[in-house]
Structure 1
């Protein structure tokens, strides 16, 4: 078969196949053009998920009639100055978007130059599947309006691969959401089938814009990321570990203002949250990376959704370091979701009318200092029956001087963010009074996190101190588990656990980490053997320190069911206040929740 040149209409179809995969792809190109035009407001209207109609209206600089005709030709662009394709600072630059879309749909482009006087109005150009159908004057305010109708109507091979309108709309909404996050200085509106689904105003802060487009609760349950390393800067917002989702659909990465989908983000985020989240949970975040143009290649994918970094390892390290630094600054913060509604509306209206008889007998007021007098033998005669004093409800013993054990005064709740311990519930939860409400702490989860952070600090300072056992303990395991532990004896010794092989199916434990004490040694060694067997033998324990240390911390923490004194409870609260990440346990669950005064008042019908 001889070689021949392809006709223009077929070239445009091929280009459309690279650039326009679905309505969301066409919408992305149109919005990027609107952003590059200097618009302050962009309105998007979709019909049937964009399959039947896509409309994008902006108030940007607009185009003259001759510029409009040129824009609809292939490889014509106003965004590339000179020949330096690596120095592109705009979103679009290939010049393929408009002609590619116009080759597979009916496109109407209307534009009016901003600042034009009354003699120079707008202009319209209609292209139907690559053929110019009409052009002439149009009435519209300064800016540009692009309408795309019946996408792939004459390309049935492509149209049959489109999904349902609902699925196509979901992809289009995600495109609008990502572009709106990147530019909080621009207002965005998205309408679908006549209903407004997204509306954000220009001038919002970055964190507020991200929260408005993802989850409103992110404002109170996130940390601000602001980190730089040389010429590379990382900014954004990331959720606390306890504010998470079951899927990673709320994770966004922007490179030089361009939304990208990169596997680098997934790996870096997982590395930053590795000891803060369970494996099946994912944080909510948006990260904005500013990189010198020479360090990133944006000309990798026709749709410009992927980039290539010159030094991907350095970028990953920056993302992990920036996120860890921001999460460390969060301290003991935890997600705030406790409310009266969460506890259940078990009391629909106030009880009683102020009279003591309106309350159950058990709740009626009793004398505060009632103490019955000691038993006495009435007449003092030998063998006489002792006489018991009758208890009087109004009896109050006279004050008397007596020696009592000295106790420290109870600290004031206002002096501590997590309040002052007032008691323990079910030998599991610490109840503390704070200035602004009631704090409930899961003692096991909280102490587990504290022990893990102590181990991490000790490892960073050269190793964990060990405490020798008075009588070494023998732990029986299967032979393969003993082999796994024996191969890691030197590494475990750095973590304070001293082991020795004791026959083919036993391990001798001579010392445990000092901070853990000599608790359930058998359970600890068994779990560590399972942990080591679960991952590649080529990895060192330091590379898997998060799992190993978390296993140790779990066995060395205060268990549920243990009675704590008030001093122990307060000591736990004070350490939580100064320990990073103490707002969540090693598995990502919250260690404490707060019930505000307003929520308590709602429970009792006072509000």
Structure 2
């Protein structure tokens, strides 16, 4: 049949059949129905996310797999495709620099995935799996994520089409940037800046009367309605405990709870199975310390519920922020060793230390070459005064990059700061009184990221009051 152009007004239905008529060999290489269906769903999801103003419907064997109404806001499209709970954990990104503009949303550090399945990156509205963008995004989170965990990202990078090439992959799934390092720095910096000043987004009611969604004649005819506003809003706050209740142990010394002596033995007591939630937007000062649990965790009470804080990683976050600021301002407090420590290294390690000697000095580690393969350690950061200095130096040598590349050096020195903070932080099985607990929580509240440790682990878990009341059949 002759091919010719034709108009396609709104409401036009395009049907494609006999996909493999001209290439029957390709049909033999198809995988199972489930696998191919998942691929189709993924492709439709990618396009639906890139074009929120379009109504997408995917039907498979009579079942609606995707049915998203048109909207003028990406956040609502994300909520429909991936769930409102995920959308509530997102932080907005909106930056531009020169020829580049980056928009979209990324998850707060407390929301992670074990795979990259929730990562969607677009360049000029084209979905790509680009290593530069993915790596720069991960680097933007720095040490906020646990090892092996990945954030949810929905990012849209815009630039002049002349600055990248799409013809480097058969499926156009990869691009090549003219200035890769420039793009890498821009994306990682944008992610880092967005996280440092982040406030999690709330999902207001999707009220059509407020023009939250576009309404098409087709959507009205097929009776595709948006769900009730309660599906996306925070919901009504639950009844709180009486404000007249006195805080337990308010004026007494900290009460340590011995786990071994408080095991639940009565069959009439129901074990609390509710899963606590990692916090990312609570104000610690709104909670009152009660004491310690197993001399390792701090228990706090507030209107939202019971907060459990890991004392070791909380102090680690405090020390890391303090040490990092001092290093950036070159004002690290150092301790002069009464007797310099002599340490012997292999030739390759000596080369590393010589190469990075000045940088280590900025961290308070003053080294002097002594003989062929020996160094004298004359000063250490005051934070390490009670630690095994030789063992720490061994760890530092293992962390040093082989080349004095600026980005690699910065990343390794971040790891060194984290290691030194971890070594000097309050340990588990260490008793704290209420004054010490209050001081730690106050210092934690002043840090840039008070909800995760430098390794990315959550610092506090919340057992919310709603779940507790339900367990006691009070709701």
Whole-angstrom distance in 1 between the partners of 2:391 and 2:199: 30
Residue 150 (structure 1) shift:
3.9
Return closer, same or farther for 1:281/1:458 CA change in 2, 3 Å cut-off.
same
Does the 8 Å contact 2:99/2:160 carry over to 1? yes
When normalised by structure 2's length, the TM-score is: 0.73
In structure 2, list runs of 5 or more residues that go unmatched: 202-251, 253-281
Q: Distance in 2 between matches of 1:448 and 1:415?
A: 19
- Counterpart of 2:258 in structure 1 is none
C-alpha offsets along residues 531-555 of structure 1, whole Å, 9 cap, x if unaligned? 23xx534546335222222212211
Whole-Å Cα distance in 1 between the matches of residues 462 and 426 of structure 2? 21
2:439 maps to which of 571, 590, 599: 571
What do residues 399-457 of structure 1 show as CA deviations (whole Å, max 9, x unaligned)?
A: xxxxxxxxxxxxxxx98556232211112111122332221111111222222222322
| Change over 3 Å in CA distance of 1:308–1:495 after alignment to 2 | same
Q: Size of the alignment, in residue pairs? A: 394
Instruction: State the match for 1:419 in structure 2.
Output: 287
Q: Shift of residue 458 of structure 1? A: 2.4
Q: State whether residues 328 and 581 of structure 1, in contact with CA within 8 Å, keep that contact through their aligned partners in structure 2.
A: yes
1:143 and 2:11 are equivalent in the alignment: yes
State which structure, 1 or 2, has the greater radius of gyration over its C-alpha atoms.
1
Aligned to 2:427: 559
Structure 1 residues 179 and 564: CA distance shift in structure 2, 3 A: same
TM-score, normalisation: structure 1? 0.58
Gaps of 5+ in 1: 1-8, 10-67, 72-110, 115-141, 334-368, 370-413
2: CA distance between counterparts of 1:516 and 1:270?
A: 30
Residue 416 of structure 1 contacts residue 434 of structure 1 at CA under 8 Å; is this kept in 2? no
2:12 matched to 1:70? no
Give per-residue Cα distances to partners, 1:177-228, cap 9 Å, x unaligned.
1111112222222222222222222226322322432354322322111112
Residues 106-255 of structure 1: pairs in structure 2 closer than 5 A: 113-114=8-9, 142-152=10-20, 155-203=23-71, 205-255=73-123
* Alignment partners' CA distance in 2, 1:473 and 1:274: 33
Deviations 1:359-378 (A, max 9, x none): xxxxxxxxxx9xxxxxxxxx
Give a deviation string over 1:134-185, Cα, whole Å, max 9, x none: xxxxxxxx52222233432553432222222222122211111111111222
SS at the partner of 1:163? coil
The answer on whether the counterparts of 1:231 and 1:292 sit within 8 Å (CA) in structure 2 is: yes
Check conservation: 1:225, 1:236, Cα contact below 8 A.
yes
Q: Which residue of 2 aligns with 1:547?
A: 415
Measured in 2, the distance between the counterparts of 1:424 and 1:331 equals 30
1:292-441 alignment to 2 at 5 Å? Answer: 292-298=160-166, 303-330=171-198, 416-417=284-285, 419-441=287-309
Aligned residues: CA RMSD: 3.2
Deviations for 1:333-390, whole angstroms, at most 9, x for unmatched residues? 9xxxxxxxxxxxxxxxxxxxxxxxxxxxxxxxxxxx9xxxxxxxxxxxxxxxxxxxxx
Q: CA separation in 1, counterparts of 2:197 and 2:116?
A: 24
Deviations along 1:219-269, one digit per CA (max 9) or x if unpaired, are 232211111223532111111223111222221112232222222212211
Pick one of 254, 272, 277 that aligns with 2:140. Answer: 272
Task: Tell me whether 1:536 sits opposite 2:402 in the alignment.
Answer: yes
- Match for 1:592 among 460, 469, 473? 460
Cα gap change, 1:576 to 1:190, in 2 (>3 Å): farther
**Does the 8 Å contact 2:88/2:200 carry over to 1?**
no
Q: State the alpha-carbon separation in 2 of the partners of residues 454 and 439 from structure 1.
A: 24
Contact 1:332 1:580 in 2 (8 A): no
* Contact 2:91/2:199, CA 8 A, preserved across alignment: no
The answer (yes or no) to whether the contact 1:439–1:595 under 8 Å persists in 2 is yes
Aligned counterparts of 1:476 and 1:444: Cα–Cα separation in 2: 32
Q: Distance in 2 between matches of 1:515 and 1:331?
A: 32
Say if 1:221 and 1:239, in contact at 8 Å, map to a contact too.
yes
Deviation at 1:507, TM superposition (A): 5.3
Instruction: Tell whether 2:328 aligns with 1:454.
Output: no
Contact 1:223 1:238 in 2 (8 A): yes
